Amino acid sequence: MSNSFIGRNPSILWFLLALSVFTIGVTLLSEATGTGLISTSFLKTLGKTLCLCLVAIAMDVVWGYCGILSLGHFAFFGIGGYAIGMWLMYARTEGIVTGSLSGSALPPTPQEVTDAIGTQIFGVVGSSEFPALWAFSHSLPLQLLAVVAVPGLLALVFGWLAFRSRVTGVYLSILTQAMTLALSLYFFQNDTGLRGNNGLSGLQNIPGLEAVPQATISLWFFWASAVALALGYILFAWVVSGKLGSVIRAIRDNEARVRFLGYHVESYKLFVFTLTAMVAGIAGALYYPQAGIINPAEIAPIASIYLAVWVAIGGRGRLYGAVIGAALVSLLSSWFTGGSAPPINLGFYVVKWTEWWLVLLGLSFVAVTLFFPKGIGGIFDYFERKRLPDRQGDYGPDKGALRQQEGVE
């Protein structure tokens, strides 16, 4: 079966090949193993980019394949980051606190240790109590579970409520955006117990690995991100191939018709929405230790809109399109906003890319939607000469509709 699965989806092999070549190349050039042509900070950028590619694939499945324009998947990504960040902060602070308390004459009681950790973590928001949300933060397995379980449950409940009342199209997008906004506002509050707008920081320091240099840790995370992206790609390629893919694309194209075929459309949407949310959570959990910091601004609706822009530019409805879009746009974005792009002097005005990048991105988004609705991925169709006849709606019982003799090419 796996032979025919790969055989029917040759793009998987090409993708895995490209990803392995890239990973090996970067590894050889990195500071930890090689010449150091790639600095550790750029290595982190590349690793983060792979995580963004993973969440972009998830977005492509939910939007490009199933037709749900979710403006909330970056929130699931952020929740995954928070879930792992809580353990990272707790465990690291615990190490520091026990270290400093061990010098005192009397051994510290467990209560003293907990209080000290609480003061360290929540001092910035004027508190030292552990909020209920942090109940499992001492346990890595439980927080890892939370990385998939919390986004999954949230998507399940939200999706169930939204889909069963048959909210579709732009109204559903607005609803997902409202959810994202509400979440980010909730995370911003100091009372929530997630350190308000300070967010969680120091996440690049992995507890127990203090002796390992950042160059090495970054490489490990880069590998982990590459593996996660490869597995995610295979998973989603499997999901969208075969009959399930057929059904979800049919839902995108004509939901009502799928119902009359006897499929419970809502369950399918819920399945896709929840699965992609869980993968988004995993991508976030790999991203934020490389970023080092997470704060509620990461969850804000604009992030999810960027996600949709990447997928649209890369090409909806094909997994590699999402990867290309996310990688290209996010790397370009860090190049332009990082100040490396040379400013253009127009004589009367100097175009500084840090300010004008968003305008450029907006214009390219408009240009892609207007002139290349298939996105960058559409170039591959051009090479394959596989032009899908675009006849949707051309035929009909109305007068003037195309007739049989005009039909088959």
- Where along the sequence are the contacts to other proteins (CB under 8 A)? 1, 239, 242-244, 246-247, 249-250, 253-254, 256-257, 259-265, 267-268, 271, 388-392, 395-397, 401-409
Shortest Å, Cβ 8 to other proteins:
11
CB of 268 to other proteins, least distance (A): 5
- Closer to other proteins at the Cβ: 1 or 106? 1
Of 307, 293, 302, 277, nearest to 84 by C-alpha is 293
| For other proteins, the closer CB: 211 or 256 | 256
Closest C-alpha among 60, 380, 382, 54 to residue 249: 60
Nearer to other proteins, 211 or 261 (CB): 261
Cβ nearer to other proteins, comparing 208 with 400:
400
What is the sign of the dihedral through the CA atoms of 310, 313, 316 and 321? negative
Burial class of residue 113 in the structure, from the number of CB atoms within 10 Å of its CB (0-12 exposed, 13-18 middle, 19+ buried) = middle
- Helix or strand or coil: residue 38? strand
Q: CB nearer to other proteins: give 191 or 406.
A: 406
Of 132 and 398, CB closest to other proteins:
398
Report, in Å, the least distance between residue 237 CB and other proteins: 13
Q: Token pair for residue 25?
A: 């190349």
How far apart are CB 173 and other proteins at their closest, in Å? 22
Q: Residue 111 is which amino acid? A: Q
Give me the least distance between CB of 164 and other proteins, in Å please. 10
Smaller CB separation from other proteins, 126 or 409: 409
C-beta of 152: minimal distance to other proteins in Å?
15
* Beta carbon of residue 246, minimum distance to other proteins (angstroms, whole number): 5
C-alpha of 210 from chain center: 28
Q: How far is CA 284 from CA 84, 151, 176, 287, 371, in A?
A: 9, 11, 18, 5, 32
The nearer residue to other proteins, 268 or 287, going by C-beta atoms, is 268
- Vertex 166 angle, CA 165 and 171, to 5°: 105
> Residue 330: CA atoms inside 13 Å, Cβ hemisphere, count?
25
Question: What is d(CA 406, CA 409) in angstroms, rounded to the nearest whole number?
Answer: 8
Residues with Cβ within 8 Å of 148's Cβ and at least 6 positions away in sequence, in order, are: 80, 278, 281, 282
Q: How far is the CB of 250 from other proteins (least distance, A)?
A: 5
